[in-house]
Amino acid sequence: MNQNIDRRGALRAIAAGLAACATRSASAQQDYPNKPVQLVVAYPPGGGTDTLARIIGDGLGKELGQTVLVVNRPGAAGSIGTSQVARAAPDGYTLLLDTGNSTLRPAIEPTTPFKPADFAPVCLLTESPVALAVNASVPVNNLAELVAYSRQRAGQINYASTGLGSPQNLVSELLKVKAGLDWIQVPYQGGAPALADLVSGQVHVMFSNPVPLLAHAQAKRLKVLAVTSAARLPALAQVPTMAEAGQTDCQGNAREARQRADAAGPESARFVHDGRYAALERRRCRDPLSTGGRKSVVRPAACACAATRVRSASRQTAQHR
């Protein structure tokens, strides 16, 4: 299978990655969309999720024949934006790019104002690894050295995350447990401000989407020590996986995305799905996305049974408790 086919497979999945709220009305479905569509990103501009939304937003708008507005609603580790979509009218005009907050947050904080049953994934489409990076001034060059350095400075090493329950928070805490580390979490509203403080030296360590790290790594403002994917990423071919670096239990990926559970109109959902698919076949969208190591985990046609997806999400929440 060649690289172009691999990219097409990943982007077909990513094209289904937004979460759509479809209308219950059959008549409304027939002329959907007839006004601008909002794509909610629950994090600030400049992070990995925001970058993905902006890459696909313009192309999706052209395919749908309507403007797609990327709306950033950061705060509370993604809960503010996710809550907004949970409360939105199920008419197909408020979309959510969800990286797992709809299931992880309720598992950790039961008082969260939304639950997995409020969202019905069209399908699980991509898995995106995260990469472990340190500020350039930290005197380590690999994961083993970071572990040793951290153990010698218990309680003195801080790590950036996008908040309690975020993928970055969970993988950082997992590494702390497995490697016996005493790191201090510094939560941020999103990946962009967290990365800015990593580059400036305000924090020592961060797990991040790989794409925003690339330019800083090339400029030697930070060092990328490992990735959580099962195999090395083409854009970071010199960087080992966590397993290669000796931490076999610290593998994982952020997943995208979900749809309102009461968005029961299959025709509107499929129309949005097909528009994303077509938009992301365009090369100008494919190339920057494939750089980040996202890969397809389902076929794009697997967007049918919302009830099954809700049950799956509920089981996932139970596993995180």
What was the pLDDT predicted at 250? 78
What was the pLDDT predicted at 230? 86
259, 240: one domain: no
123, 135: one domain: no
What was the pLDDT predicted at 77? 78
Please, are residues 43 and 191 in contact by the beta-carbon 8 Å criterion? yes
What was the pLDDT predicted at 270? 54
What was the pLDDT predicted at 15? 40
115, 263: one domain: yes
3-state secondary structure the chain: CCHHHHHHHHHHHHHCCCECCCCCCHHHHHCCCCCCEEEEECCCCCCHHHHHHHHHHHHHHHHHCCCEEEEECCCHHHHHHHHHHHHCCCCCCEEECCCCHHHHHHHHCCCCCCCHHHECCCCCCEEEECEEEEECCCCCCCHHHHHHHHHHCCCCEEEEECCCCCHHHHHHHHHHHHHCCCEEEEECCCHHHHHHHHHHCCCCEEEECHHHHHHHHHCCCEEEEEECCCCCCHHHCCCCECCCCCCCCCCCEEEECCCECCCCCHHHHHHHHHHHHHHCCCHHHHHHHHHCCCEECCCCCCCCCHHHHHHHHHHHHHHHC
26, 92: one domain: yes
139, 201: one domain: yes
pLDDT in tens, the chain (321 residues): 444 434 444 433 334 344 333 333 444 455 778 899 888 888 888 877 787 778 777 777 877 788 989 999 988 878 899 899 888 887 778 888 877 777 778 887 888 898 877 775 655 545 678 899 999 999 999 999 999 999 999 999 999 998 777 778 889 999 999 999 999 999 998 888 999 999 999 999 999 988 889 999 999 999 999 999 888 988 899 999 999 999 987 776 555 545 444 443 444 455 555 555 554 455 444 444 455 555 544 333 334 343 444 444 444 445 445
What was the pLDDT predicted at 288? 46
Domain endpoint, select from 231, 251, 271: 251
The CATH number that applies at residue 7 is 3.40.190.150
145, 237: one domain: yes
C-beta neighbour count of 287 within 10 angstroms: 12
Domain endpoint, select from 251, 266, 294: 251
171, 89: one domain: no
157, 18: one domain: no
**Residue 195 has which token pair?**
């990365």
Please, are residues 21 and 85 in contact by the beta-carbon 8 Å criterion? yes
81, 136: one domain: no
**Whole-model pTM?**
0.66
What was the pLDDT predicted at 240? 96
Task: Return the closest-CA partner of residue 209 out of 126, 319, 313, 139.
Answer: 126
What was the pLDDT predicted at 48? 72
What was the pLDDT predicted at 275? 54
Domain endpoint, select from 233, 251, 269: 251
The CATH number that applies at residue 140 is 3.40.190.10
| Total domains, the chain | 2
Phi, psi of 315 (to 5 degrees): -65, -40
Domain that holds residue 285: 3-127+255-320
